[in-house]
Chains A and B, each alone.
Chain A
Amino acid sequence: MINTAQEKEEHLFLSGHTACAGCGQSMAARLVIDAAGPNTIVVNNTGCLEVFSTKYPETAWGVPWIHSLFENAGAVSSGVEVALRYLGKKDTINVIAQAGDGGTADIGLQALSGMWERGHDILSICYDNEAYENTGVQRSGLTPFKANTTTTPIGKESFGNPRPKKPMPEIARAHGLPYVATASVAYPLDIQKKVKKALSIKGPKYLQIHVPCPLGWRHESNLTFEIAKLAVETGLYPIIEYENGKLTNVRKIKGDVKVEEYLKLQGRFKHLLTSPEQLKLIQDIADNNILVYGLKLEQVQQEGGK
């Protein structure tokens, strides 16, 4: 089936949306939907993406798209999917349920868990910008350890967010999903490859994409790519794939980039730079990721062993 919007436009997520300059989420959203193609229905939780893409009477979407509430994309997409099944159209139409990190890992987790457990043929996407950016940078369950947000402000008694990120990919994997992956907006072709791969698999899938937010992370708008890349290269954001519960692929890194390189470009971590103890706590997270997921290139590991 031909989508009329597709014939005229290069993309299925179009210009004129009102995201901040340099928004990582708007890049990722376009990459995702362009990879998924016109035969896709998108269900969007409330959040930045919803607000900046569909302010009536305008919409940036070239595919059928629906937003209901903050926490129910898991359930609304289930409703879309069963209706398509009823109509006998499920085999030709993709369903994507997408949300930010708060809509995925916090308020929307119950509906998402229900959708996964029921086994709907839906790809869930989490655009992880690591805080409630839309409401003014409050802490979410995916806000990283020690980040300075408006609800985990630094002060005499605090170095920022007291808890590490909720392990969403592991939670997804524990639901028995056939495909769970992370990606970063630093690697656009990898995002597109993973979206296509996920959509080729029947059943529930989860893809979590790291998307810098210049506003909330307090970085220059032209550094979105650089910062996303450093998150991966330091080991702080492992890029992994689980297929049928098994870790089948990781993006290898050299392992020679210290977390400080990543942290120093962002206002949300500025307070850590003067404290070697605090920096070590963050470096420990990266080192642990490198170990647990086997992120280091073997060659580099051997060299390190000499």
Chain B
Amino acid sequence: MFGPLIGRPGSSKKNKTGSWRTGKKPKFLKKNCIACRMCVLFCPEGCISGKEKNTFDCNYAYCKGCGICASICPKKDIDMVDEGEKI
């Protein structure tokens, strides 16, 4: 029997939305980070993680490049840089 269409938990992770980025991606400078976790809370993709100061990073496989993390970081410790830039 095919159907009902049931989704298994977390299966969306197969879908690498990082390919959506057009032009810019966030760069976590890891200099002035105070581990306030704002970037984690605000990331629409839920793809930013980290624990201690200056350890936060995003998973580029999913980051769509919206730029919210860079715009809300109170320490300006995240930059939006060109997609080609090595990180």
User: Within the complex, are A and B direct neighbours (CB within 8 Å)?
Assistant: yes
By a beta-carbon cutoff of 8 Å, the part of chain A in contact with chain B is 4-5, 8-11, 13-24, 26-27, 30-31, 53-54, 56-63, 65, 188-189, 214, 220-226
Name the A residues within 8 Å of B12 (CB-CB): 14-17, 53, 58-60
Name the B residues within 8 Å of A8 (CB-CB): 10
Which residue of B10, B15, B16, B66 contacts A222 across the interface (Cβ within 8 Å)?
A: B66
**Cα distance, A61 to B9, chains bound together (Å):** 6
Name the A residues within 8 Å of B66 (CB-CB): 21-22, 214, 221-222, 224
By a beta-carbon cutoff of 8 Å, the part of chain B in contact with chain A is 5, 7-17, 20, 41-47, 49, 59, 61-62, 64-68, 70-72, 80
Name the A residues within 8 Å of B80 (CB-CB): 222
The answer to whether B46 touches A15, judged by C-beta atoms less than 8 angstroms apart, is yes
**Cα distance, A26 to B10, chains bound together (Å):** 15
Tell me the nearest residue of chain B to A3, going by C-beta: B9
**Cα distance, A17 to B11, chains bound together (Å):** 10
**Cα distance, A63 to B7, chains bound together (Å):** 11
CB distance from B33 to the nearest CB of A (A): 18
The answer to whether B42 touches A225, judged by C-beta atoms less than 8 angstroms apart, is yes
Which residue of B5, B17, B43, B64 contacts A56 across the interface (Cβ within 8 Å)?
A: B5
**Cα distance, A226 to B66, chains bound together (Å):** 13
Name the A residues within 8 Å of B7 (CB-CB): 54, 56-59, 61, 65
**Cα distance, A23 to B45, chains bound together (Å):** 9
